[in-house]
Amino acid sequence: MTLIKNCIILLFCYYTVAESTDALPVVLWHGMGDTCCFPFSLGSIKKLIETETNGTYVLSLKIGGNMVMDYESGFFIHPDYQVRYVCDQLAKDERLINGYNAIGFSQGGQFLRAVAQRCSTPPMKTLISIGGQHQGVFGLPSCPSLSNSACEHLRKLLHREAYKEWVQRNLVQATYWHDPLNEEEYRQKSSFLSNINNEVFINQTYIDNLNKLEKFVMVLFLNDTIVQPKESQWFGFYTPGQDEEIRPLNQSPVYEDLGLNQLDSDGRLVYLSVEGDHLQMTSKWFIENIIPLLTEN
């Protein structure tokens, strides 16, 4: 509800109460190499959502106290810590009390899913994962916003040392590194992904909380050169023991172990795809495909 000022003649104004928007507040979580507020990325998406929903409240998460911390968090702050931080921020925000919709970009997609699974208040209604890596990655062909040499360094580190304890503690991308040739090692040593995917043990709270979502929408970029395999964006992954053939979600253990089968059979699990490289979508596509999901409840 907002006050709309109506002016009939210059000095005669009165106020009416009008429904500005029915859309729930929206929470955004940026990807690696990005921040809450860069004008060329999440800053402009925030504006777009505000405009298209007639001014709903949009919170673009900033992890830590400032933009530098926020940028670095995408590489160096353990997702468990980030998720806890976000849960606190959301719980403190009175505007979210009646629920919110959430959009995660790239790794922000799996992090927001962890928020849904671990923190049920305030209630998340629709979770939209745009290019998220729900079964992790095995490869990092290129890195947004990093120089070639930094990217090369990161890639080598992940291939060689991803499951070393200090790497798991200090490098975000290692926490969702998923080596299909060493599934057992992944399950035991991944310090984040195998936990939120109920692969170490089944946490019933995760299943219950995930099933409180009205919808879980996954967007896959058909020509993605950053996420390997790109099917991870739809919760698919390599069939264990090799790295070519893909096993889709509905044939993976996580489908039942996380209660995604229930969401799916209720029609609440939505698979969307869009042509383009990682996170390359037009505002026209966003307005036609994402905005309606935010305004329908």
Ligand X SMILES: *[C@@H]1O[C@H](CO)[C@@H](O)[C@H](O)[C@H]1NC(C)=O
Q: Is 53 in the site for ligand X (CB under 6 A)?
A: yes
**58-60: strand order across its sheet:** 58-60, 26-29, 100-105, 124-130, 215-221, 269-274
Copy the structure tokens of residue 94.
């009175």
Q: Is the CB of 68 or the CB of 200 nearer to ligand X?
A: 200
Q: How far is the CB of 194 from ligand X (least distance, A)?
A: 13
Distance CA 201, CA 188 (A): 10
The answer to whether residue 106 is catalytic is yes
Question: How do strand 58-60 and strand 26-29 relate by DSSP bridges?
Answer: parallel
- Note whether 105 and 279 are within 8 A (CB): yes
Check 30, 78, 134, 278 and give the catalytic one. Answer: 278
Q: Is the CB of 35 or the CB of 198 nearer to ligand X?
A: 198
Q: Is the CB of 53 or the CB of 233 nearer to ligand X?
A: 53
- Please count the residues of this chain forming the interface with ligand X, following the rule CB under 6 A: 12
The answer to whether residue 278 is catalytic is yes
- Note whether 57 and 95 are within 8 A (CB): yes
Interface mask (CB under 6 A) for ligand X, residues 116-155, using x and -?
Answer: --x-------------------------------------
Residue from 37, 54, 164, 247 touching ligand X (CB under 6 A): that is 54
Find the part of the chain contacting ligand X (CB under 6 A) among 33-41, 158-166, 203-211, 250-258.
203-211
Q: Is 228 in the site for ligand X (CB under 6 A)?
A: no
Q: Looking only at residues 67 through 126 of this chain, which bind ligand X when binding is defined by CB under 6 A? A: 118
What Rg value do the Cα atoms of the chain yield, rounded? Answer: 20
Check 34, 70, 179, 224 and give the catalytic one. Answer: 224
Is residue 296 classed as helix, strand or coil in its secondary structure? Answer: coil
Q: How far is the CB of 214 from ligand X (least distance, A)?
A: 17
Check 60, 106, 129, 252 and give the catalytic one. Answer: 106
Q: How far is the CB of 280 from ligand X (least distance, A)?
A: 10
Q: Is 250 in the site for ligand X (CB under 6 A)?
A: no
Find the part of the chain contacting ligand X (CB under 6 A) among 57-65, 142-150, 199-207, 242-250.
199-207
Q: How far is the CB of 11 from ligand X (least distance, A)?
A: 26
Burial code of 53-69, b = ≥16 C-beta within 10 A, e = fewer? beebbbbbbbbeeeeee
Residue from 66, 98, 142, 223 touching ligand X (CB under 6 A): that is 223
Distance CA 85, CA 115 (A): 10
Distance CA 237, CA 190 (A): 16
- Note whether 95 and 56 are within 8 A (CB): no
Distances (CA, A) of 201 to 48, 114, 174, 246, 294: 41, 15, 20, 24, 33
Residue from 44, 121, 142, 205 touching ligand X (CB under 6 A): that is 205
Instruction: Please state the three-class secondary structure of 68-125 as a single string.
Output: HHHHHHHHHCCHHHHHHHHHHHHHHCHHHCCCEEEEEECHHHHHHHHHHHHCCCCCEE
Q: How far is the CB of 243 from ligand X (least distance, A)?
A: 19
Copy the structure tokens of residue 142.
């290129």
Residue from 89, 145, 170, 203 touching ligand X (CB under 6 A): that is 203
- The site for ligand X (CB under 6 A) is made up of 21, 23, 53-54, 118, 203, 205-206, 222-223, 275, 295
Active-site residues, by number, are 106, 224, 278
